[in-house]
Copies of this chain bind each other. A is one copy, B any other.
Amino acid sequence: MIMDIQHYLQDKRQFINDYLPSFLAEKSIPGLLKDSMLYSLQAGGKRLRPILTLAVLDAFGKRAEVGLEAACALEMVHTYSLIHDDLPCMDDDDYRRGKPTNHKAFGEAIAILAGDALLTFSFQVIAGSHVYSPEQKVSLLSILSEASGAEGMVAGQAVDMESENQELTLEELQSIHERKTGRLLEASVLFGAVLADADTEDFARLKAFSRHLGIAFQIQDDILDVTGDSELLGKQAGSDENNFKSTYPKLLTLDGAKAELAHHIKLAKENLREAKVHPVILEGITDYIVSRNH
């Protein structure tokens, strides 16, 4: 099954990679700004968020293609957040996925503006879709703005920075991750549910599924930082340790973190199986999250 899932992920990733730049193609965006937006949009990555949206549609037996615009909007928001997080006054990273970060390539001003523009564009893509109903658009835009804003992703980054070099409790660590990465992963799953016209019960189950999936994703990230290969990670393994960052392995030991990971994977799958969907692909993605090496 892992091999099939690899194939599925590769297939969908290619689909996303092909379409992402096309949204900007005919827009009259100033040259440098457009180059900067495309540079980060095309820097690769797992495309986990858009793939989740497409996979949920598949799980409901709907055409995954329907989710394309919404899925690409999610990747734009994710990309904007990486550009801003990498800035010198934030995490001050010079490399991302083995390439110079956006501000290293284009300067800080253009990097900030490219992030602003990608965030704004994500809303434009959804609002301007010719595929979704006004009601679906409003649901998607509510979910996206709540997940990525002052109570969601931006809050996570703000608290993460405030608490740098501080010892965190497991609860505090979880709360940061829930907002910094969890909410947008949740939104990715809920996007699929909205576009599949899921009923209230399935919506709630998929929300619970995505919450545990998000926590599992972050635990595996922290584990990889301890055990992973720098080249595959595209950043220095052990960098969290060197940055005095609170991580799951540090708070729970490596074995403890692996047990916590298994616990959340189990809960994710339980919630998934209770929903009226074909669970196979989403289960496969869940397993992939544990087994990935970057």
Contact = CB atoms under 8 A, between A and B. Distances in A.
Interface in A78-123: 80, 84, 87, 89-90, 107-110, 112-113, 115-117, 119-121, 123
Q: Give the copy number.
A: 2
Interface residues of A, number: 51
A134 B135 CA distance: 6
Contacts of A80: 116
A116 to B, nearest CB: 5
B121 A145 contact: yes
Contacts of A133: 134
Contacts of A110: 158
A80 B154 CA distance: 14
Q: Tell which of A108, A113, A148, A154 has the most Cβ of chain B within 10 Å.
A: A154
Contacts of A30: 155, 158-159, 162
Contacts of A32: 158, 162
A232 interface: no
A137 interface: yes
A154 B89 contact: no
Which secondary structure dominates chain A's binding surface?
helix
A207 B161 CA distance: 43
A162 B141 CA distance: 32
A4 B112 CA distance: 42
Nearest to A28: B151
B158 A113 contact: yes
Contacts of A141: 123, 127, 137, 141
Contacts of A61: none
Interface of A: 24, 27-30, 32-34, 37, 80, 84, 87, 89-90, 107-110, 112-113, 115-117, 119-121, 123-124, 127-128, 133-135, 137-138, 141-142, 144-146, 148-151, 154-155, 157-159, 161-162
Across the A-B interface, give the 7 residue pairs with the lowest CB-CB distance, nearest first. A124-B145, A134-B134, A120-B149, A89-B108, A117-B150, A127-B141, A33-B158
